[in-house]
Structure 1
Amino acid sequence: MTKGKRRLWFAIGIAVLLTFLMNGQPISRYVNAVKEKEAVFATAAGDEKERLRQMIETWKAGREEAPVDAKVDPTWKAIPGYNGLMVDVEASLEKMLASKQSGPESLVFKEVEPAVTLKQLGAHPIYRGNPKKPAISFMINVAWGNEYLDSMLDTLDKHQVKTTFFFDGSWVKKYPEEAKKIAQRGHEIGNHAYSHPDMKHLGVERIHQEIQRTQEVIEKTVGIKPSLFAPPSGSFNQRVVDIARSSYDMQTIMWTADTVDWKKPSPSWVIQRISKRMENGVLVLMHPTAASEASLDQLLTLAKQKGLVPTTVSELLSSSRLPKQS
């Protein structure tokens, strides 16, 4: 019972008691009268609650979304699921009764997870997120290009964006302070093998060596154990995907849109190329190059203008819905 209701009941009780005492009525009649009034108020409150419950059932029609299961697509391979959205009837009822304001705008929603999750699909490469999730990730593979890193980090800070950097293990070994700087700025860290090899042509032992050495140097340097693996040059086979998943619990990450920045295109060319491919769930591949450094600011601006939220790869692949943007 709210404070206001307690005060109301107290005032009613005092008024009834004084009336009975002034008229010389016995206390027992006072008690019965109070009980009668309580019953009347309880009935009224119950009726109001039931009326609101029925209205909530009406208001929620067309406002709920069913969850989307993760699936294996013939083209895009593993595609993560997407949480549904349902009205929490009891929470909505409590909110409306407490605020004394009712209407569709007061509905309380809760997320409903899909029956099939990304991990349940098994070992598959991932090229994109769920097409219903308005997120995009500008993932940056780092094996060279230190001279452009600071500027790219500053641009990400300017837009208040955290993204995913995939580290080459030998680069981390050579430039530990650069690796620490990126991690300390709050960005997600992924594994990009140790020596930038062509993974699909490697034997089992060498595949393990490339992934494990990188895991170890990243964890030792920045205290992070990556859960994402990006094969150098996008070269892999199913054996690579299986080993990454079964031995290191890592998802193999590819891309939806490629800046091809290693070919040294102009920034305007990169912007034009990527802007055409911007949509829900897109993974954009870039490196710390002059072209990507000069185009990143505008690409982030364009993504936001399209209603997309630039974020990390893990967040993009998560089935959770994004917080409402202000």
Structure 2
Amino acid sequence: MTNSLGIINEVKTDRKAIAFTFDDGPNPLYTKQLLEIFQQVSGKATFFMIGEQMEKHPEVVAEVFEQNHEIGNHTFTHPGLTKLSEEECYLELEKTEKLITQLTGKQPVLFRPPYIDYNEETKKIVERFQYKTIGALNGDALDWEQPGVQFIVEKSKGHIRNGSILIFHDGFGDRSQSIEAVRLLVAELVEEGYQLVTVSELLEMSNA
């Protein structure tokens, strides 16, 4: 299920599976808390990491990768890409791709634009990397604004169905509300029989 710019917000599938995604890490405190939450339920998630943060916390990157979660490209400095020149935009993606490959030995295949700031020009640059561009359904949960744990949970629950992609944040500022909301959602969804998978795994389950 893509929009006109090719951003994938959900996957059409008969499987009872959902992808949790996390932006702006890695963060030694919050990313590690998420790893514990998913480890307890044998679930997997996708982390869209910023290059600058990866340079600061390579040990967290290694931990995420070793636990078989997916790492996607979220640029190097988290700019609004539509405000950059074509060359600047390309470098933002290229530097982070090289860093992910260097730290994990695996090339990323997914990309999420910061602020979901995206247009036709950006799309052309992203296509040069052959990335799939990933959005999410629960942008209205506004977890980055810390609107309250219950608010994040309730808004996100409104988008739960087979193939949903959900967005939360594990970097930049106090993310304790996001972590607590994810903890509650994960417990509930596992109880309901949902499988928690990476975005690439979800894409493989597509009926399309």
**In structure 2, C-alpha distance between the alignment counterparts of 1:187 and 1:160, rounded to whole Å:** 11
Match of 2:138 among 257, 264, 270: 257
The answer to whether the Cα contact below 8 Å between 2:43 and 2:196 also exists between their aligned partners in 1 is yes
**In structure 1, C-alpha distance between the alignment counterparts of 2:180 and 2:142, rounded to whole Å:** 14
- Partner of 1:146, secondary structure, is coil
Match of 2:28 in 1: 146
**In structure 1, C-alpha distance between the alignment counterparts of 2:144 and 2:28, rounded to whole Å:** 14
**In structure 1, C-alpha distance between the alignment counterparts of 2:143 and 2:3, rounded to whole Å:** 25
Aligned length: 202
C-alpha RMSD of the superposition? 1.9
**1:294 and 2:180 are equivalent in the alignment:** yes
How big is the shift at 1:320?
5.6
Match of 1:26 in 2: none
Match of 2:122 in 1: 240
**In structure 1, C-alpha distance between the alignment counterparts of 2:158 and 2:23, rounded to whole Å:** 22
- Partner of 1:265, secondary structure, is coil
**In structure 2, C-alpha distance between the alignment counterparts of 1:200 and 1:251, rounded to whole Å:** 18
How big is the shift at 1:218?
1.1
**In structure 2, C-alpha distance between the alignment counterparts of 1:307 and 1:239, rounded to whole Å:** 41
TM-score (ref. length: structure 2):
0.89
For structure 2, list consecutive stretches of 5 or more residues without a partner in the other structure. none
Match of 1:198 in 2: 80
The answer to whether the Cα contact below 8 Å between 1:279 and 1:308 also exists between their aligned partners in 2 is no
Match of 1:282 in 2: 164
**In structure 2, C-alpha distance between the alignment counterparts of 1:319 and 1:155, rounded to whole Å:** 24
How big is the shift at 1:240?
1.5
**Post-superposition, which runs of at least 4 consecutive aligned residues in structure 1 deviate over 6 A?**
none
TM-score (ref. length: structure 1):
0.58
The answer to whether the Cα contact below 8 Å between 1:275 and 1:302 also exists between their aligned partners in 2 is no
The answer to whether the Cα contact below 8 Å between 1:189 and 1:224 also exists between their aligned partners in 2 is no
What does the per-residue CA deviation read over 1:39-87, in whole Å, with 9 as the maximum and x for residues that have no partner?
Answer: xxxxxxxxxxxxxxxxxxxxxxxxxxxxxxxxxx6xx427xxxxxxxxx
- Partner of 1:165, secondary structure, is strand
Match of 2:101 in 1: 219
**In structure 2, C-alpha distance between the alignment counterparts of 1:175 and 1:195, rounded to whole Å:** 15
Higher relative contact order (CA 8 A, sep 6+): 2
Q: Which structure 2 residues correspond to residues 111-150 of structure 1 after superposition, within 5 A?
A: 124-143=6-25, 145-150=27-32
- In the alignment, residue 147 of structure 1 is paired with which amino acid? L
**1:230 and 2:112 are equivalent in the alignment:** yes
The answer to whether the Cα contact below 8 Å between 2:27 and 2:53 also exists between their aligned partners in 1 is no
Give % identity.
Answer: 26
Match of 1:317 among 200, 203, 208: 203
How big is the shift at 1:305?
3.8
**In structure 2, C-alpha distance between the alignment counterparts of 1:234 and 1:128, rounded to whole Å:** 15
